[in-house]
Structure 1
Amino acid sequence: MRLSDSTAEPRGRSPLGIALLVLLAVAGAWAAIRHFSGGVPGAGAAGYDWDFGALWKYRWLLLSGLLYTLLFTVICVALGLLIGLVTGLGRLSSNKFITAPLRAYIEVFRCTPVLVQLVWFYYALPVLTGIEMTAVTAATVCLALYGGAFYSEIVRGGIISIETGQSEAAKALGMTRLQMLRRVILPQAFKKMVPPLMNQSIMQLKNTSLLSVLAVPDLLYQGQVIAHDTYRPLEVYTFIAVAYFLVLLPITVWAKRMEYGTGPKEV
């Protein structure tokens, strides 16, 4: 029986609602700028003179930083998903010699700040191993392992959420464990994993803003260079905030639509 309209999951935001949200965000940002720059009578005694035109000659630097951020995110998400799939399946093993180190890896990365991990991988790991790494390599390894720890628990949780009757039926048909996972369990579990996987991938994109501490040329690092050169930090960081917002808003809306699309529709 299909759910009634009153109990069905709400659909994603309409294009009109998204446009209204963006308009309100832009209006709020502009009102704040006018307020603190002295554009509103009696406000902003310092009277800061905003000048976004100063950023125009750095447009290609900002664009390269944005593209680097997006490319870095795609690479780290892809590697993290691969690590998460392998470790998530490994966590389902009954062998403690397999599950114990995997659990230790997951808890270490989930229970320590990602900024601390980035600094440790770049400065401490080469001292311990004798292997020199560039800032980009250290950041890639760190964020991939960090994301993989979260993806692993999402994969494991999605698999164990499937009813045991499904696996019993697959065994009754003579399927091997690998065939059962590939043909029966994973296709059903993936539908439940989509929303948390999307949310964690969005978090990975926001985590790239921490790469600037290692001088990785992402959007924030390029912004810091421009702010130092122009002495216009407010304009630079406002632009960076708006850029992240414009990139993440459609992804967030799409993730929400995916979440509603994979939800249960029949009872």
Structure 2
Amino acid sequence: MNKRKLYNGLMLALVLLFALIGPVMNVHAQEAEAPKKKLIMGTSPDFPPFESVDAKNTGDIVGFDIDTANLILDELGYELQIQSMDFNGLIAALQAGRVDFVMSGMSATEERKTSVDFSEPYYYARNSIVSKAEHSYETLEALEGLVVGAQLGSIQEKVAYEVPNPADVRKLNKVPDLVQEINSGRIAAAIVEDAVAVDMTNANPGLVMNFLPSEELDNGYAIAFPKGSPYVEEFNTVIAKFHEDGTFEELKQKWFPEPKNNAGSDKLIDFSVLEGYVPYIMKGVGVTLLFTLVSALLGLILGSILSLFKISGIKPLMWFATGYTSIFRGTPLLVQLTLIYYATPQLTGYDIPALLAAGLAFGLNSAAYLSETIRAGIMAVDKGQQEAAIALGIPYRKMMISIIFPQALRNILPALVNECVALIKESSLVSVIGVADLMRRADIVRADTFRSFEALLLVAAIYYVLVLILTSLARMLERRLRRGD
């Protein structure tokens, strides 16, 4: 009996114990299963070894900055999401709330501090002069009276202006463009950060680099945040820790190569440098075609509506259609694209995807041009067609859809094809907001190889083939329509 009571007592104690511990264990389990908060990092992946695209393998963005960001966020318990865009758009993306922070080899200059907040520097670099091997410039004074290049918006651009009486300071969007300018003789030398200069000279044996006497950049490379960001102090704590425990030194050994002699190709044209990159570039064909199709359909639908407004005889609709056409034909397409991409989240809070922003911008712009083309096609249809339809009692909507519009579209088919061809070619503009189309992928390959001609020629050939296919299909359709007359 006593054993029975003892057994019951133990069981009751276990039940109470589990009743007390269970909720605690459940809370911990829920905490463990709770997803990490995601932070979006903006970067321009054309600055190896700090950030570049592993185009030959996974297609992921890799580099010193990427590893640094992953380690910092892992330490703080956040999840990293990377947003690719041009360097010139990074500050705008921060201010528009499209990204939470920026890491892209960015120096914390006084001018930038007026727009964004910076962390403590995580890397200090030295400036160097890159030039042709036969001209080994070692000081800024040696560049006096010469044309000097630097990346637009970089700290090196300021250093370039310190050259005594330069003939010109050529500012280019991308570092690979500087290599092309040196090789073509348009600039005598370029001011580049040391680790990038090593990659440039390794890939181009005809180039040499020389460190400038200054020890390091004034402020070093730092992480940029929107004004008043709560993450600055958290990041600074981890950055200080990584400086102390040698984490940054380990990353430097991993990512910063040693200068090599004759590591790259010195041929004027060498398509072997594209080995392994062609499949990556070809993936951009699908993006380009999808974007073109969406833009063309949107432009055709909106253009048809606008053309009907213009011939409706209703003053408000006519004024709206005329004003719309005037605005979209009178402003640059690139301005419309960047406005939609950056202003939409700032004004509405909706983080519009880059591809959707591109489709809208090109579709709205195309509609303005097509509205005039479609209106002309409608006006070209014989008036007897409309009079006959009215005499037969056919409703206006059915008459336009079934009788007038088919004839108008057949008349303007060549103009529609020309618009589609223009959309395919102009789609290269979407690369400025990070859409991975053909041109964007070519830029990434240029950044990786520091050679421009081969990648650009391949992309030009792909665009040409796409246009040939489109025009051939249009001719087949036109012949079929003529046989149906």
TM-score, structure 1 as length reference: 0.75
Deviation at 1:135, TM superposition (A): 1.7
What is the number of equivalent residue pairs in this alignment?
223
Rounded to whole Å, the distance in 1 between the matches of 2:301 and 2:402 is 19
Cα gap change, 1:182 to 1:140, in 2 (>3 Å): closer
Q: Report if the CA contact (8 A) 1:192-1:262 is conserved.
A: no
Q: How far apart are the structure 2 equivalents of 1:117 and 1:263?
A: 38
Superposed displacement of residue 110, structure 1:
1.5
* Deviations 1:206-234, CA, capped at 9 Å, x for gaps: 11111111111000001111110111211
In structure 2, what is the equivalent of residue 179 of structure 1?
398
Q: Answer yes or no: is the 8 Å Cα contact 1:194–1:259 preserved in 2.
A: yes
For each residue in 1:36-60, what CA deviation from the matched residue of structure 2 results, as whole angstroms up to 9, or x when unmatched?
99xxxxxxxx974322122121122
Rg bigger for which structure? 2
TM-fit CA distance, 1:134: 2.4
**Alignment partners' CA distance in 2, 1:256 and 1:200:** 15
| 1:137 alignment partner in structure 2 | 356
Query: Does structure 2 retain, via aligned residues, the 8 Å contact 1:91–1:103?
Result: yes
Contact 1:162 1:188 in 2 (8 A): yes
Q: In structure 2, what is the equivalent of residue 158 of structure 1?
A: 377
Per-residue CA shift, 1:232-264, capped at 9, x if unaligned? 211111111111112112323444565677679
Moved more, 86-95 or 69-78: 86-95
Residue 295 of structure 2: which of 73, 76, 87 is its match? 76
- TM (norm. structure 2) is 0.43
Q: Is the 8 A contact 1:83 1:148 kept in 2?
A: yes
Q: What is the identity, as a one-letter code, of the residue corresponding to 1:229?
A: D
Change in 2 beyond 3 A, CA 1:79/1:172: same
The higher-RCO structure (CA 8 Å, 6+ apart) is: 1
- State the distance in 2 between where 1:135 and 1:188 align: 36
**Residue identity opposite 1:81 in structure 2:** L
Q: Retained in 1: the 8 A contact 2:310–2:317? A: yes
Matched with 2:132 is none
Opposite residue 243 of structure 1, the aligned amino acid is I
**CA distance 1:60–1:264, change in 2 (3 Å):** closer
User: Larger % of strand: which?
Assistant: 2
Instruction: Report the equivalent of 1:229.
Output: 448
Structure 2 residue 306 is the aligned partner of structure 1 residue 87: yes
* Matched ranges for 1:58-137 at <5 A: 58-137=277-356
The amino acid of 2:287's aligned partner reads Y
**Aligned sequence identity (%):** 35
Give the Cα–Cα distance (whole angstroms) in 1 for the partners of residues 312 and 372 of structure 2.
14
Q: CA deviation at 1:91?
A: 2.1
Q: What displacement does 1:183 show?
A: 2.9
Q: Aligned letter for 1:98?
A: L
> What SS does structure 2 have at the residue aligned with 1:91?
helix
Consecutive unaligned residues of structure 1, counting only runs of 5 or more, are: 1-35, 38-45
Match of 2:457 among 215, 238, 243: 238
Tell me the SS of whatever aligns to 1:232. Answer: coil
Q: How does 1:10-89 map to 2 (within 5 A)?
A: 48-89=267-308
Distance between the aligned counterparts of 1:75 and 1:182, measured in 2? 22
Residue 429 of structure 2 corresponds to residue 210 of structure 1:
yes
Cα deviation for residue 65 of structure 1 reads 1.1
* CA positional deviation for 1:164: 1.9
RMSD, matched Cα: 2.6
State the Cα deviation string for residues 102-145 of structure 1 (Å, max 9, x = none): 22112211122211211121123433444332222211110111
Q: Aligned partners of 1:141, 1:124: CA distance in 2, in Å?
A: 13
Distance 1:111 1:50 in 2: 41
Match of 2:89 in 1: none
Q: CA deviation at 1:179?
A: 2.3
Q: Distance in 2 between matches of 1:53 and 1:124?
A: 42
Q: Distance in 1 between matches of 2:445 and 2:368?
A: 35
Deviations 1:145-183 (A, max 9, x none): 111222222221111111222211111111111122133
Q: Distance in 2 between matches of 1:77 and 1:223?
A: 24
Distance 1:140 1:92, change over 3 A: same
Unaligned runs of 5+ in 2: 1-182, 185-205, 207-265
